[in-house]
Structure 1
Amino acid sequence: MSSEPIRVVLVDDHPLVLDGIRARLEEEAGISVVGEACNGQRALEQAKALEPDVMLMDVSMPVMNGFEATRALREQCPNVRVLILSMHDNREYILQLIQSGASGYILKDVSSEEMVKAIETVHQGGTYFSSGASQTLFSRFDEPATPVQDTGVLTRRELTVLKLLAEGRNNKEIARELDISVRTVETHRQNIKSKLNIQTAAGLVRYAIEHNLVQMS
């Protein structure tokens, strides 16, 4: 893991929110707030100028909202990871943002510690959903999972790894749960990406959702 701090741009149209988040993140030695934006258009400009690692972004904003900005960032600044911070726990919001390219979604009622963990997780290439967002997103998957294993695309173990990835687990956590090495998890992850022709964590989450692989009670 790099010793360089994670470069973050904050995007929200409420100055008090920006001030509060900046003040909290400035306490973290591993995070550097390098810019702020009050709308999606400005966020895109900041991304191009500052080349941050992570954009911590609201959804409801003037000029260009979070959906539009996330799609534009995916196309124009693919190396920038987008973490949504929103008050909305609407399932369609979350799904649309994942489909737009967001790597994570946390609600504004999370603790500052969880916000930091989310930033670190998406920076490392993972996906992160706060508990409230996870319940909203996954609790309605009450139908039997689509039997994609019958297609022969993924092995049973690869399906298990994909399910855990979609739930926001990182490689070390998956390795512990399945009692395999981290290197083996990485191999499975690369095989999954290759077989599905999906190269992003958000894309894998979207695939898992579309095939009802993720179910939470």
Structure 2
Amino acid sequence: MFNFSELRLVHIDDHLLFAQGIYSLLGQETFIEELIHAENFQEGLKIAIHHQPDIILLDYFLPDSKGIESIRQLREACPTSKVILLTMETNPEVITKCRNEGAVGFLPKSISKKELLDALKNVMEGIPTFPAVTEINPKVNRSQSKLNILSKREKQIANLIAEGFTSVEIAEKLFLSDLTVNTHRRNLIQKLGLKNSAQLVAFIENLKFSE
């Protein structure tokens, strides 16, 4: 049985308001000895290496790292830490990949305080915490339907972005100006309700997983 009087956590999330909410919720708990927030992956990785926490709460969407690669690096650098995804991502294929990569939990950001505390307890007692596939399939369908609002050119550019091409390379491939490609990139992010290009790449890749 794990001693909950000394739980040490690192939370990696670039949403500062959400992170402050987590700190407010968990900071009240007497069993948490240490709770450190990092607003990007590289900072979080350094903190995790130094502190070797019991649990790392990780957002799937980070501006400087993809979710799967983030888990891989954290597992290599902190083999005794338990990685839990706390994120808006709900694609079942992504969840399966995260689990296969060594994550022990996958929680939605809409989770209640009680659900979060229960998940922490379960994970520290060796019980993985993952949603059932039936709970998350509708989100995939909604994501697929978002593509219907995109033009043929926007879909083409979105796929090239997901394949790792820069705006300059896309412009050369499609015989467009850099300005035109960057305009399409901004429109894609806005239409799909995303924050940045990193989320756009993850969005397109997740749809490919579900095909």
Range into which the TM-score falls when normalised by the shorter chain:
0.5 to 0.7
Q: Find the counterpart in structure 2 of residue 80 from structure 1.
A: 81
CA distance in 2, matches of 1:122, 1:25: 16
CA deviation after TM superposition for structure 1 residue 130, in Å: 4.3
Distance 2:96 2:62 in 1: 18
Corresponding residue number in structure 2 for 1:7: 8
3-state secondary structure, aligned to 1:128: coil
- Structure 2 distance, partners of 1:30, 1:9, is 15
Q: In 2, are the aligned partners of 1:40 and 1:65 still within 8 Å (CA)?
A: no
Q: Does 1:103 align with 2:104?
A: yes
Flag as ranges the 4+ runs of structure 1 deviating above 3 A.
Answer: none
Q: Percent identity?
A: 34
Per the TM alignment, residue 34 of structure 1 is displaced from its structure 2 partner at its CA by 2.8
Do the aligned partners of 1:10 and 1:33 also contact (CA within 8 Å) in 2?
no
1:37 matched residue in structure 2? 38
Aligned length: 136
Distance of aligned partners of 1:5 and 1:13 in 2 relative to their CA distance in 1, 3 Å threshold: same
Report the counterpart of residue 18 of structure 1 in structure 2: 19
Evaluate the alpha carbon distance shift between residue 3 and residue 122 of structure 1 in structure 2; reply closer, same or farther with a 3 A threshold.
closer
Q: Give structure 1 stretches of 5+ with no counterpart.
A: 138-217
> How do 1:54-203 residues align onto structure 2 when only pairs under 5 Å count?
54-130=55-131, 135-136=135-136
Question: How big is the shift at 1:115?
Answer: 0.7
Q: Match of 2:135, as an amino acid? A: Q
2:140 maps to none
SS of residue in 1 equivalent to 2:42: helix
Residue 96 of structure 1: CA displacement?
1.4
Please, which runs of 5 or more residues in structure 2 have no aligned partner? 138-211
CA drift at 1:3: 5.0
* 2:35 partner SS: strand
> What residue number does 1:204 align with?
none
Q: Work out whether residues 4 and 32 of structure 2, in 8 Å CA contact, stay in contact via their aligned partners in 1.
A: no
Cα distance change, pair 23–130 in 1 and its aligned pair in 2 (3 A): farther
Determine the C-alpha separation between the residues in 2 that align with 1:119 and 1:100. 19
Query: Higher helix share goes to which structure?
Result: 2
Quote the Cα distance in structure 1 between the aligned partners of 2:109 and 2:50: 27
Name the TM-score, length of structure 1 as normaliser: 0.58
TM-score for the superposition, normalised by structure 2:
0.60
Gap change, CA 1:130 and 1:25, over 3 Å in 2: farther
- Relative to structure 1, the CA distance from residue 106 to residue 3 in structure 2 (aligned partners, 3 Å threshold; closer, same or farther) is closer
Larger Rg: 2
Superposed CA deviations along residues 145-201 of structure 1, whole A, max 9, x for unmatched, are: xxxxxxxxxxxxxxxxxxxxxxxxxxxxxxxxxxxxxxxxxxxxxxxxxxxxxxxxx
